[in-house]
A and B are shown apart, each in its own frame.
Chain A
Amino acid sequence: MGEIIFLLLLAAIGGYYYYESLGYTVGRFDTTGGGGLFPRAILIVLFVLLAARLIEILVKKEKAPFKFFGYLKGVGGVFFISFVLFVLLIKPLGFVVDAVIFALFTVNFLYYKAKDDKKLGGTKAIIIRTVCIIGYVILVNWFFTGVLHVNLPAGVLKNIL
């Protein structure tokens, strides 16, 4: 059922695109059908393929569950959510602060999950890890701003960096 919903969702988005493409302007001397013709041709192929897949599912009675939210589950899910936060906060916090928070959280979280004893290690190990992470972020910041001459958001460290 899950995959059928996915296919119908794709068909709905495709249908919207098809409808929208009918309104695209075609130049007076354009003999190629304008900007909407090619997407429409691909959309027709897509609709045929979606229908074929739908028939395949119904005929074979495939019951494998369709995973819509796999990216929100398990360790990978937590990592993905923290990456989403990293992306959303990069402008206000700035790259250095945002990246340090992201790396500190993800490294320690993954470390915790990887160990059977579910511990973060001794105090010394935590301190070394933290120093290495901060060093790494500063190195990446230097590489992009100093070597490749690109601007990264400074955020809260605007007056320092």
Chain B
Amino acid sequence: MLSQVILATLTDPYFILLAALGAFIGICFGAIPGLNTPVAIALVLPITYSLNLNHTLALIMGIFMGGISGGLISAILLKLPGTAAAIATCLDGYPMTAKGQAAEAMAIGTFASFFGGIFSAIILIVATPALSRFALSFGPWEYFGAIFLACTLVCTLCDGSFLKGMIATCIGILLATVGLSPIDGQSHRMTFGWSELNSGFSLIIVVIGVFAFTELIRSTNRLKEEKTINSYEKKLFYFPNWKRMWRQKWNLVRSSILGTFIGVLPGIGATEAGMFSYAQAKRFSKHPELFGTGIDDGVVASEAANNAVTGGALVPTLSLSVPGDPSTAVILSALTIQGLQCGPMLVIQHQDIFYTVIIAVLLANIFMYVIQACSIRFVVKIIEVPLYYLVPAVVLFCAVGAYTINNRSFDLLSLLLFIVIGWILADNQYPTMPLIIGFTLGSMLEAYYRRTLSYYGDLPHALISPSFGTVLVAIGILFPIINMLLDRRLARKKAQEQENAD
């Protein structure tokens, strides 16, 4: 099976081309401050409609791998992380630039990203089938528990109030219920007699409206932001010095392990991985006082960890349909659009698709490394493209893409509605990612909820049943509460410390 998939994918020029294109798009979006990986994936969703599943996987995995890594370019050259994942890269990357070692910093960072990505891909190969086999014993109640857990955990992932996150999740789930009811198909829910709403809102429209377009259009309010690129050595290929890299071997392995592990945990992602790994590298270093002054260790720790998150985050996404971070949440939407339901059956029954994901991830990492090492000079030019050209061009392209989903103006009108919803939420510190997760998982949550009722008779019976589903639901309820209490305690402690300092 594996050899067949390898042969089928690697002899498909479109597959290879789309993985390369995806990596390039991801690097560009990652490098441009203000744009990020989930936005890039959301924006290509309309195009994926015209692609088959394999090609979609190649494109999306390319963007995912490239997007996380691309942030290092602006972090090193501009001291402005292209993505939040590259915050820790700034700490030593930019001082290296100031010392005239920008080329070395980019070469080391790119190689560390590649190492972290490949390391986590190997973990993905090993861990996903194991987790899937465990999840095979799941019934509707366990699935309901897993999705419920994902919905609540994603609220702890976002900045700001947990309550606001949960409200956004509920709005997302309720938006997913619009249209004909599943299972029985008898009720026209909130359709107001419009036949266009019978099939509900399109997932692409919700994702690009609430998330991507809102971010893009809001970025036009920052037209005058200065982007001063520091001078750097122009090379054809940014390759690290092997001796310097060899000294980082344990740092590379440790950071990759940390990144992969953090990636598997739903709720925390590349940003936390980069920061945590940087702190650990400093702790284990013989010269912790040099961190922040522009040393290889800091760049390696941050970049290996944030890219290792990619494979880790895909483990629960593929095996349980529980996204590990915002990027995998949008990837889950993209796969749903392609008619692919993630979960244990994906790995057990559709091994060919699972192997295609693995090959796409590995290939995307290779392209990410090659393209990033070769094209830093060109990507820097893209960072310099002014927003007044970039935003109208991207908005126009994606709006047409959204129109072509069903060839009807209604989708564009609903896109406007979702831009307004996304904008109001974002303007008032209501996180938008839980809304997208709620919308993506809402229909599955409903289906499993109703199957659970059919199986157990009523919810109390399911809740008192000694099953793993009950444990998942309990964690889903308790984890955010504990998180909220800890946050409050921390805030109180900080306030007290500040009071004492004053």
Contact = CB atoms under 8 A, between A and B. Distances in A.
Contacts of A102: 392, 396
Contact of B217 (A10, A26, A80): A80
B313 interface: no
Interface string A8-49: 001000100100110011110011111111110111011001
Interface string B154-174: 000000010110110011011
Contacts of B401: 144
Contact of B183 (A17, A32, A83, A116): A32
A74 B427 contact: no
Interface in A54-111: 56, 66-68, 70-71, 74-76, 79-80, 83-84, 86-87, 90-91, 95, 99, 102-103, 106-107, 110-111
Contacts of A56: 161, 163
Contacts of A33: 450, 453
B217 A79 contact: yes
Nearest to A141: B400
B186 A35 contact: yes
Interface residues of B, number: 63
Contact of B189 (A21, A26, A31, A80): A21
B184 A114 contact: no
The contact size tier of chain A is: 35 or more
Contact of B407 (A32, A84, A136, A150): A150
Nearest to B167: A49
A32 B453 contact: yes
B423 interface: yes
B391 to A, nearest CB: 7
B220 A10 contact: no
B223 A113 contact: yes
Nearest to B451: A32
Majority SS at the chain B contact face = helix
Contact of B184 (A21, A30, A144): A30
B181 interface: yes
B407 A151 contact: yes
Interface in A121-138: 136-137
A12 to B, nearest CB: 14
A50 interface: yes
Contact of B412 (A41, A74, A90): A90
B419 A71 contact: yes
A106 B453 CA distance: 53
11 contacts: A6-B428, A27-B184, A32-B450, A33-B450, A35-B182, A46-B170, A53-B164, A71-B423, A116-B224, A144-B404, A150-B50
Interface of B: 47, 50, 161, 163-164, 166-167, 170-171, 173-174, 177, 180-184, 186-187, 189-190, 217-221, 223-224, 386-389, 391-393, 395-397, 399-401, 403-404, 407, 409, 412-413, 415-416, 419-420, 423-424, 427-428, 445-446, 449-451, 453-454, 457
